[in-house]
Chain A
Amino acid sequence: MSSRPSDGTRLASHGAASLTIEPADVAIIGAGVVGCAIARALALEGLSVVLIERGRDILSGASKANSAILHTGFDAPTGSVELRAMQAGYDEYLAIHESLNLPLWKTGAHVVAWTETEVAKLDAIVAKARANGVADVARIEVAELSRREPALARGALGAVQVPREFLIDPWSAPLAYALQAMAHGARVLRDAAVTAARFDGDGWVIETSRGMVRASVVVNAAGLFGDHVEALARTSPFAIRPRRGQFLVYDKPAAALMQSILLPVPNERTKGIVLCRTVYGNLLVGPTAEEVDERENATTTEDQLRMLREVAETRLPALRDIQITATYAGLRPATERQDYVVEAVPDRRWITACGIRSTGLTASLGVAAMVRALYASHFGPPRPVPTPHLIRMPNLAEDRPRGIDGPAPGAIICHCEGVTRREIEAALIGPLPAADLGGLKRRTRVMMGRCQGFYCAAQVAALAPKLVTP
């Protein structure tokens, strides 16, 4: 990527027609959960927004694979930008989720110690939580833990409860943010990689693979490519160090084995292997934490998958008899710093929202609020819209009625996940239709179940031929 194209040059666009769009107040580069949340926040400020994404669909980067936990920040670095963003994001999610029809599973979490060394760390965990303002974190008796989680293996030596760690739908939430932004005029350009950008003193001319976009201010929310995009404005003050996390997903019967989120005692580098349900009714085990060079197409490795299975079966022995439905890996956009990078470069009319490493699903709304404040203090006063348009997301969570539970559901296409033809058709139309198979899966859950397409592949192919066999 060159940061200074010669004036007037046009980079080859990949087949797609060059687009002409109105100059915008703000161009956001990257439609991960952070970019989507920023688009929402700025559109609700009455700003004209363009959200630019290189993937065929939104959520093509870090945001496509995570543990879906809404964190309290009880164990985050005290005093960090990350903690502030998480807590603001947490509060805002609680405030808006019902109006967007997004789920919230109030499961709570338990940090469980299995060795004496780990027990020794529990009081420090409680103390840190208190310092972080999460006052309801406390030690509980092992007997109480066993009462709450009877399927858990014996041998726990101590436990801390974190009552307000919750679970959410990691894909419907950012989609709702993007759709709400669009309802307020935001445009979303997908399949549009930013390849270069030129600052002319008043604003930016951004070259994308689909044509040129003009904007007065640019927000860098490019996740795993944050440092590359940052180099368009300045020498990047940070470097992305992707950290991979691999997961196992167990079939639905496993979800009955656990109520809360099971957290291990963290070490310096990672929170360790978590066991938790998903709002889709599965059980998730992971993530690993591995420094890798890959920035896209996260790969799994057999040895780590086997390790995860061993941890899972050690903690919840009943998992031995339950099938693994899926395996996947995600990449955290970590940097060499121990914190996020959320700052403005006023003389370049640029805002950076990068290094949103392992907590961005929670923090996204908080980061968006910070970006809104940076915009207001450097680039112009807010003009908030009087009444936000509300978006009602189709429910994908198991605890509330879905399409299949309705009065006349029509044809069911995916039997493992109970997805109707109507739901699939709905995901293929509208302001932000699914643009690849992953996008269709994230919007409907089709093919995400135990058979992984054995039964439904042909019907999905018939409904969305371009997405299935590109």
Chain B
Amino acid sequence: MSAERDVVVIGGGPTAAGAVRALARKGRRDVIVLERESEAGGIPRHCGHTGYGVAEYGRLMPGPNFARRLAAELGAGADLRRRHTVRRLQPDGQLSVVGPEGSYELRARAVLLATGARETPRSARLVGGIRAPGIMTTGTLQQLVYLQGARPVRRVVIIGTEVVSFSAILTCRHAGIEIAAMIGEGFRTLARWPAHLVSRHAFGVSVLRGAHLEAIEGGSTVTGVRLRLASGQTRVIACDGVIFTGKFRPETALLADHPGLVDPGSRGPSIDQFRRLELPGYFAAGNLVHPVETAGRCFRDGMAAGEAIADHLAGVLPPLGDTRLIRAAGAIRSLYPQRLAGEGMAPIHFQVTEEVRGKLEIRLDGTLIWSRPRHYLAERRHTIPPWRLAGRHFAEAEVRIA
């Protein structure tokens, strides 16, 4: 077995960069970053449009520039190993890694999982119809357009109205791809889109709300989508491409051997306020924990994880076992942190399954301590401030929207 290192970060995106910056500030230099792609930077590598970097580097820049800055920072603050893929997590911070020269094992006192999230493809949405090229996620479209300079489709229908759907619009505009329509299953645009960009770019895209995608039509290529409209009518829209946007899922392949560490609500790892998993020595942050956030927020989350890891290495974190559970109920799809360790408090963030008007209730060990009616939108992060629970003793808290 190889010598034990201080920290290994799995993934080299914005979250990893934030962690490495915080660790460097704390004087932690024995840090390895394992990134499976040939370049670090994560998702922003192929987000050709602007929208990144203000908080981290002081100015607005396109994704690829931001990714290069992140990569440079990772290279400066850590031993950055590109084309190194982590294949398995074992207890005690032991990792199985494969690099271009072969497989090896690595051991660290702290491991940060920063593997991000990906969009849900057509298959997992159970959309019927043909299978053909031209059906893809925003991520795939962006790679083909920005990294390959390709124009894989001419006229698309965009499925979804999240922030990333807006990214899909920009990508199409950039490549000269016509947007036939944008389809929202719900009746409200899910994203709070950046207003200055919307007015410039999204104008003119017709958004069909409350429409259901019944099937993708065509033969060996796509010829159109068949929709069931809110009115109950069926409508076919001609296109040669269908872009499935959003519905992000944490990239949890590494947790496949450890199903008990995954929160069925968020589908990411369950963490405490120090971003610790229940497996000693393991931490998680960024989109892996709560998809989907902006790169800037992931960077800050990574910084917080880096600080917690420094405290862990210094031996000043409360023990892992001594936790209070926070459970989601009712219309709440997921929340985090799912556990609070020691005496401390932390903001509790949650998401709802779909837009809901209801009463938010907090129960401590079964006793209702707070409730307030409110309106909650889907795909947004809602927060319960830490002082709401401060000074109270409990074993289990339940957060519910009734």
Given the known interface contacts A300-B128, A454-B118, A469-B152, the answer about A409 and B123 at a Cβ–Cβ threshold of 8 Å is no
B144 adjacent to A301 (CB under 8 Å): no
Shortest distance from the beta carbon of B113 to any chain A beta carbon, whole Å? 15
A residues less than 8 Å from B1 (CB atoms): none
Q: B94-106 CB contact bits vs A (8 Å, 1 = yes)? A: 0000101111000
Closest residue of chain A to B142, judged by CB?
A: A458
Which of A170-178, A207-215, A322-330 interfaces with chain B? Answer: A322-330
Q: A17 an interface residue at 8 Å Cβ cutoff?
A: no
Report B126-155 residues with CB < 8 Å from chain A CB: 126-133, 136-137, 139-140, 143-144, 147-148, 150, 152
Given the complex of chains A and B, what is the CA–CA distance between A306 and B124 in angstroms?
11
In the complex, B85 has a CB within 8 A of chain A? yes
**Which B residues lie within 8 Å of A429 (CB)?**
none
Tell me whether chain A's interface is mostly helix, strand or loop, or mixed. mixed
Q: Are B140 and A453 in contact (CB under 8 A)?
A: yes
Interface: A450 (CB within 8 A): yes
Looking at the assembled complex, report how far the CB atom of A441 sits from the nearest CB atom of chain B, in whole angstroms: 11
Alpha-carbon gap, A326 to B85, bound state (A): 24
B253 near A416: Cβ-Cβ < 8 Å: yes
Report chain A residues within 8 Å CB of B133.
437, 468-470
- A:306-360 near B, CB below 8 Å: 306, 309, 321, 323-328
B103 near A405: Cβ-Cβ < 8 Å: yes
Instruction: List, in ascending order, chain A residues with CB within 8 A of B98's CB.
Output: 404, 409, 412
- Is the C-beta of A144 less than 8 angstroms from some C-beta in chain B? no
Q: How far is the CA of A299 from the CA of B131 in the complex (A)?
A: 7
Cβ contacts under 8 Å, A461 to chain B: 143-144, 148, 150
Chain A hits for B220, CB < 8 A: 296-297
Contact of A408 among B36, B100, B139, B150 (CB under 8 A): B100
Interface centre among A451, A457, A461 (most CB of B within 10 A): A457
A453 engages B259 (CB within 8 Å) = no
Write the B183-216 contact mask toward A (1 if CB under 8 angstroms, else 0).
Answer: 0000000000000000000000000000000110
Residues A409 and B100 in contact in the complex (CB < 8 Å), given A252-B256, A327-B126 = yes
* Chain A, Cβ-Cβ closest to B213: A302
* Partner among B85, B128, B214, B267 whose Cβ is within 8 Å of the Cβ of A412: B85
Instruction: Give the contacts of A428-461 with B (CB-CB under 8 A).
Output: 437, 450-455, 457-458, 461
By CB atoms of chain A within 10 A, which of B124, B144, B150 has the most? B124
Instruction: State whether B215 touches A299 (Cβ < 8 A).
Output: yes
CB distance from B255 to the nearest CB of A (A): 9
| A299 lies within 8 A of B129 (CB) | yes
Is B123 touching A469 in the complex (CB atoms < 8 A)?
no
Q: In the complex, which of the residues A302, A306, A404, A470 has the most CB atoms of chain B within 10 Å of its own CB atom?
A: A302
Q: Which of A261-302 contact B (CB under 8 A)?
A: 296-297, 299-302
Number of A positions contacting B (CB below 8 A): 48
Taking CB atoms, residues of chain A closer than 8 Å to B100 are: 408-411
Smallest Cβ-Cβ distance to A329: which chain B residue: B131
Q: By the criterion CB–CB under 8 Å, are B137 and A454 in contact?
A: yes
Question: Least Cβ distance of A12 to chain B in Å?
Answer: 19
How many angstroms between the C-alpha atoms of A321 and B83 in the bound complex?
Answer: 30
| Distance A405 CA – B46 CA, assembled complex (angstroms) | 29
Q: How far is the CB of A87 from chain B (nearest CB, A)?
A: 34
Q: A296 CA to B256 CA in the complex, in Å?
A: 36
Cβ of B27 under 8 Å from chain A: no
What's the Cα separation between A325 and B143 when bound, in Å? 21
State in angstroms the CA–CA spacing of A437 and B119 once bound together: 21
Contacts of A323 in B (CB 8 A): 124, 249
> Given the interface contacts A327-B126, A450-B253, does A407 sit within 8 Å of B150 by beta carbon?
no
How many angstroms between the C-alpha atoms of A470 and B36 in the bound complex? 28
Is the beta-carbon distance between B131 and A452 smaller than 8 angstroms?
A: no
If A323-B124, A461-B148 touch, does A454 touch B119 (CB 8 Å cutoff)?
yes
Q: Are B126 and A309 in contact (CB under 8 A)?
A: yes
Q: A281: shortest Cβ distance to chain B, in Å?
A: 10
Whole-angstrom distance from the CB of B106 to the nearest CB of chain A?
17
- Identity of the chain A residue whose Cβ is nearest the Cβ of B118 in the assembled complex: A454
> How far apart sit A302 and B129, CA to CA, in the bound complex (Å)?
8
Query: Given that A297-B219, A461-B150, A462-B148 are contacting pairs, would A454 and B129 also be in contact in the complex, using a CB cutoff of 8 Å?
Result: no
User: B123–A325 contact, CB under 8 A?
Assistant: yes
A415 in contact (CB, < 8 A): yes
Given A302-B215, A451-B121, A452-B137, decide whether A412 and B36 contact each other with a Cβ distance below 8 A.
yes
Would A469 and B36 be within 8 Å (CB), given that A324-B124, A409-B100, A453-B136 are in contact?
no
- Inter-chain contact B118/A324, CB cutoff 8 Å: no
**Among A411, A437, A453, contact of B38 (Cβ-Cβ < 8 Å):** A411
B103, A455: Cβ atoms closer than 8 Å: no
> Which residues from 370 to 414 on chain A have a C-beta closer than 8 Å to any C-beta of chain B?
404-412
- Chain A residues positioned under 8 Å from B267 (CB to CB): 321
Render B256-296 as a binary contact track against A, CB cut-off 8 A, 1 for contact: 10010010100100000000000000000000000000000
Please tell me if A181 contacts chain B, counting CB pairs below 8 Å.
Answer: no
C-alpha gap A454/B127 in the complex (Å): 17
Contact status A455-B139, CB under 8 Å:
yes
Given A305-B128, A410-B100, A411-B100, CB of A296 within 8 Å of CB of B219: yes
B122 at the interface (CB under 8 A from A): yes
Q: Which residues of the other chain, A, contact B144 by a CB distance below 8 angstroms?
A: 457-458, 461, 468-469
A253 interfacial contact with B, CB 8 Å: yes
With beta carbons under 8 angstroms apart, the residue of B128, B218, B264 that contacts A301 is B128
In the complex, what distance in Å separates the CA atom of A418 from the CA atom of B128? Answer: 28
Q: How far is the CA of A455 from the CA of B116 in the complex (A)?
A: 11
Complex CA–CA separation, A409 to B101 (angstroms): 6
Q: A296-B219, A415-B85, A451-B121 are in contact. Are A302 and B128 (CB under 8 A)?
A: yes
B37 contacts across to A, CB distance below 8 A: 455
A254 CB to nearest chain B CB (Å): 10
Task: Knowing A297-B220, A415-B36, A457-B144, say if A452 contacts B102 (CB, 8 Å).
Answer: no
- Chain B residues in 8 Å Cβ range of A410: 100
Q: Report the separation of the CA atoms of residues A296 and B131 in the bound assembly, to the nearest whole angstrom.
A: 11
Q: List B contacts of A451 (CB < 8 A).
A: 118, 121
**Closest Cβ–Cβ distance, residue A303 to chain B (whole Å):** 8
Distance of A160 from chain B, by nearest CB (Å):
31
Shortest distance between the CB of B223 and any CB in chain A (Å): 11
B10-47 CB contacts (< 8 Å) to partner A? 36-38, 46
Rounded to whole Å, the gap between the CB of B85 and the closest CB of chain A is 6
Q: Given A454-B137, A455-B118, A461-B150, do A324 and B143 touch, yes or no (CB 8 Å)?
A: no
Q: Could you tell me if A297 and B128 are in contact, using CB atoms closer than 8 angstroms?
A: no
Residue numbers in A under 8 Å from B38 (CB-CB): 411
Closest to A437 in B: B133
Chosen A-B contacts, 21 in total, with CB atoms closer than 8 Å, are A249-B123, A297-B218, A299-B215, A321-B264, A323-B249, A324-B123, A326-B123, A404-B98, A406-B102, A409-B100, A411-B100, A415-B253, A437-B133, A453-B137, A454-B119, A458-B46, A458-B147, A461-B143, A468-B144, A469-B148, A470-B133
12 extra interface residue pairs, beta carbon distance < 8 Å, beyond A302-B215, A405-B103, A457-B140: A296-B219, A404-B98, A408-B100, A411-B83, A411-B100, A415-B85, A451-B118, A455-B37, A455-B118, A461-B148, A461-B150, A462-B148
